[in-house]
Amino acid sequence: MIEIKDISKSFGKNAILKGMNVTIEKGEVVVILGPSGSGKSTFLRCINFLERADAGEISIGQTKVEFKKAKSKEILAVRRKTAMVFQQYDLFLHKSAIENVVEGLIIARKEPKEEAYKKGLELLSKVGLKDKRDAYPHQLSGGQQQRVGIARALALNPEVILFDEPTSALDPELVGETLDVIKHVAQTGVTMIIVTHEMSFAYEIADRVIFMEDGVIVEQGSPEELFEQTKEERTKQFLARFSR
Amino acid sequence: MDFDFAFMLEAFLAALHYLPTTLLLGFLPLVFGSALGLAIALIRHYEIPILAVFFKWFVTIFKAVPVVLILLVSYLVFSDVLDKIANSLALSISFRDIDRRSIAIFALTLYATSGLSEIFRGAFASIPKGQIDAAYSVGLTTLQVLRRVMIPQVIPLALPLVNNMLISLIKASSLVSMVSVVDILNGAVIEANVNYRYLEAYVAVSIIYWGVCASIEAVTAGYEKYANRNRRRQFA
């Protein structure tokens, strides 16, 4: 279980997160929706300390840390229980697909090389890229790069995978293959927090949908509740702009 | 105007005798300057308090001062200060015993350090920030991110400019006669002092400089091709 309490974050005078509380059960898939600038990405980036939140605390499994006071050891402990998939894929450009996947295993987790490569290859097959194991990022399409990014996150066998708009930078015709891989992963019981603008995907995959704006949760519930029995006026306005 | 080819060859051979000095004055400052420049670039990249500001000024000053002045000032400071310090510490070294080349290497290192630190700083800044986030997100420590993700990408990026710096250093080393070091230029000039055939001497030395710099260029071009094989289109 992951529990995030009272998280807030400002950039200068600009308050991005204003005391959010989110609890996620093991195996739950949570989709976060919201207009740009609502703090969705910042929320994800604060969870694994890519941004340092100003207040609040997080507990993942046995690890419990206050955002503001966390020391580098604690930060590392949280990061090693989480993994992230980035909007711009952000693969290591000087490493091949398989090297990207095993980097965290070999260097951060100190796993034996042979085992790591075996696991890495399995994961590349899982995302349909076994034959691209030695390709460098520049030799892969955006969709393929993002699938390597997903394999890199899966390799760490994390308590939760954070998806930060995983398909926003992709060509429309490559979105499908990436979403399919994410759906497939979701079915294996991995806990996920997904920030996305793909509404039908959200509807299909989510156990719970959170709509947030201005750094607070406006409304949350099951996809049916949020999309079909919308309570808040603001959520309705937002959803009206997307035709599913 | 007559051009004495025989004397040119003579001057060429006389100058060639001092080639090791010129190479030393190019390569040693490059090695020292790369180590110090990398350290400064990292200090400034990670914005380490006080030191970052200090080195910002260091670089600003030395980038804007001609090499010849760094050389002359170093010489004067050394000649003045060294004996005094040695005296007060009761050390038995004196300025007269010091190899003048070490002063030249010191001065050229200052010049190289400021230039190379800027080269490395630029290269660090050009690594897409997302990759560094990604490296942290898979659980790498700051040091591991530096060693596994940043340095391997910085080196091929910086290499063409480091190569330029080496060539600049080789050429700047021709100024060291001002602090009475004999390099290839000074060696040829000494030869020409006998018969005033300076033109032949200068042409002879030019050929050596050209040969040295062209070889450096060729070696780095080869290495660059090798190092870049995996990062074509990196920033496309």
- Enumerate the residues of chain B whose CB falls inside 8 A of the CB of residue A86: 130, 133-134, 137
Q: What mean pLDDT do residues B132-156 have?
A: 94
Residue A125 has a CB neighbour count (10 Å cut-off) of 13
Average pLDDT, whole number, for chain B? 91
User: What does DSSP say about strands A2-11 and A14-24: parallel, antiparallel, or unpaired?
Assistant: antiparallel
Q: What is the CA radius of gyration of chain B?
A: 22
The dihedrals phi and psi of B12, each to the nearest 5 degrees, come to: -60, -45
Q: Containing H/E element for B114?
A: helix B100-125
Q: Is the pLDDT of residue B18 over 90?
A: yes
**B135 CA to centre of own chain:** 33
pLDDT of residue B230: 59
Residue B68, token pair as written in the block? 């010849």
In this prediction, residue B223 has a pLDDT band, given cuts at 50, 70 and 90, of confident
- The phi and psi torsions of A66 (rounded to 5 degrees) equal -85, 130
- Asked whether the predicted pLDDT for residue B135 surpasses 60, the reply is yes
pLDDT score for B231:
57
Tokens of A144: 């393929």
Phi, psi of A188 (to 5 degrees): -85, 5
Q: How many CB atoms lie within 10 A of CB A167?
A: 24
Name the architecture of domain B24-180: Orthogonal Bundle (1.10)
Q: Does A86 touch chain B (CB under 8 A)?
A: yes
Q: In Å, how far is A143's CA from the nearest CA of chain B?
A: 16
Q: Give the pair of three-digit tokens for residue A145.
A: 């790069």
pTM attached to this predicted model: 0.86
> Taking CA A84 as the corner, what is the angle to CA A128 and CA A160, rounded to the nearest 5 degrees?
95
* Pairwise CB contact (< 8 Å): B141 & A103: no
Pairing between β-strand A160-164 and β-strand A192-195 as defined by DSSP bridges: parallel
CB contacts of A154 in chain B (<8 Å) are: none
Please give the pLDDT value at position A115: 96
The amino acid that residue B220 corresponds to is T
- A80, B137: Cβ pair inside 8 Å? no
Q: Cβ distance A92 to A99 under 8 Å?
A: yes
Tell me the β-bridge partners of A192: A29, A161
CB proximity under 8 Å: A 15-44 to B: none
* pLDDT bracket for residue B169 (50, 70, 90): very high
Chain B hits for A161, CB-CB cut-off 8 Å, are none
Indicate yes or no: CB of A79 within 8 angstroms of CB of B131. Answer: no
Supply the DSSP symbol for A58: E
- pLDDT attached to residue B234: 47
> What gap in Å lies between CA B40 and CA B61, rounded to an integer?
14
Give the separation between CA B160 and CA B116, rounded to whole angstroms: 12
pLDDT (mean) for B220-230: 77
The model's confidence at residue A235, banded by pLDDT at 50, 70 and 90, is: very high
Question: What does the pLDDT average to over B15-24?
Answer: 96
- Answer yes or no: are the C-beta atoms of A174 and A142 closer than 8 Å: yes
pLDDT at position B93: 76
In this complex, do B136 and A79 lie within 8 Å of one another by their Cβ atoms? yes
Worst-scoring range by mean pLDDT, A68-72, B204-208, B215-219, B223-227?
A: B223-227
Q: Which amino acid is at A158?
A: P
- Summarised one tens digit per residue, pLDDT across range A89-110 is 999 999 999 999 999 999 999 9
pLDDT of residue B236: 38
Helices B19-45, B100-125: crossing angle, 10 deg rounding: 40
Neighbour-count burial for B142-165, b at 16+ CB within 10 Å, e otherwise: eebbbebbbbbbbebbbbebbbeb
What is d(CA A82, CA A46) in angstroms, rounded to the nearest whole number? 12
Q: Hey, where are the domains in chain A? A: 92-157
Q: Which residue of B has its CA nearest to A88?
A: B130
- For chain B, domain boundaries: 1-18+182-236, 24-180
Task: Please say if the pLDDT value at position B140 is more than 70.
Answer: yes
- Rounded Cα distance between A8 and B174, Å, is 61
**Torsion angle of C-alpha atoms B59, B61, B65, B71, degrees rounded to 10:** -80
* Contact status, residue B205 vs residue B22, Cβ threshold 8 Å: no
Confidence of residue A243 (pLDDT cuts 50, 70, 90): low
pLDDT at position A46 is 97
CA neighbor of A20 nearest in space, from A54, A49, A51, A64: A54
Of B133, B139, B148, the CB nearest to A109: B139
Q: Chain B: nearest CA to A92, how far in angstroms?
A: 6
Indicate if the pLDDT at residue B98 is higher than 90.
Answer: no
Tens-place pLDDT, residues A132-161: 999 999 999 999 999 999 999 999 999 999
Angle at A34 between CA A32 and CA A37, to 5 degrees: 115
The whole-chain average pLDDT of chain A stands at: 94
Burial readout B197-235 (b: 16 or more C-beta within 10 A, e: otherwise): bebbbbebbeebbeebbeebeeebeeeeeebeebbeebe
Choose among A50, A82, A94: nearest Cβ to B153. Answer: A94
Do residue B138 and residue A138 have CB atoms under 8 angstroms apart?
no
| pLDDT tens string B39-92 | 999 999 999 999 999 999 999 999 999 999 999 999 999 888 888 888 888 777
Tell me if residue B173 falls in helix, strand or coil.
Answer: helix
Query: Which of B133, B137, B229 to mutate to test binding with chain A, by most A CBs within 10 Å of its CB?
Result: B137
Model pLDDT, residue B233: 47
Q: What is the pLDDT of residues A182-231, one digit of tens each?
A: 999 999 999 999 999 999 999 999 999 999 999 999 999 999 999 999 99
